[in-house]
């Protein structure tokens, strides 16, 4: 191969990296969005479990209105961007808290997936 042929070959490859990057960039953004959505789903599981635990403890120790204490304690531990539903029935001597959270799509507070994550916890009734 002559020196001139080598220069022509390198000149023909010029810009190939930019074209490949431009082609892969949307795929990288899509993968980043999918990973971020998985993080939000995992965080919603964590929030639901913690809120249910706090709600069950508050309801078990409540003197007057256990359902109200449960709902307020559970909602206190969940950011406002998540839609929450709380139910605290009595099962025998155990106050059970069921917290349902809707999973946000990419940005909390905008739209929600048609998926509700449920956290359940129980605490023995005090008093």
Distance CA 95, CA 66 (A): 9
* % of the chain exceeding 90 in pLDDT: 31
Please check the confidence at residue 31 and state whether its pLDDT lies above 80.
yes
Calculate mean pLDDT across residues 24-47: 92
3-state SS of 92-111 is: CCEEEEEEEEEEECCCCCCC
pLDDT in tens, 77-88: 888 888 889 998
pTM (2 decimals)?
0.78
């Amino acid at each position: 191969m002559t020196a001139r042929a080598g220069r022509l070959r390198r000149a023909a490859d010029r810009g190939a990296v930019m074209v490949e990057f431009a082609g892969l960039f949307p795929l990288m953004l899509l993968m980043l969005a999918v990973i971020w959505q998985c993080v939000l789903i995992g965080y919603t599981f964590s929030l639901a479990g913690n809120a249910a635990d706090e709600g069950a403890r508050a309801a078990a120790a409540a003197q007057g209105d256990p359902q109200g204490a449960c709902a307020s304690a559970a909602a206190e531990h969940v950011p406002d961007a998540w839609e929450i539903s709380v139910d605290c029935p009595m099962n025998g001597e155990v106050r059970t808290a069921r917290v349902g959270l809707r999973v946000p799509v990419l940005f909390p507070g905008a739209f929600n997936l048609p998926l509700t994550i449920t956290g359940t916890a129980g605490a023995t009734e005090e008093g």
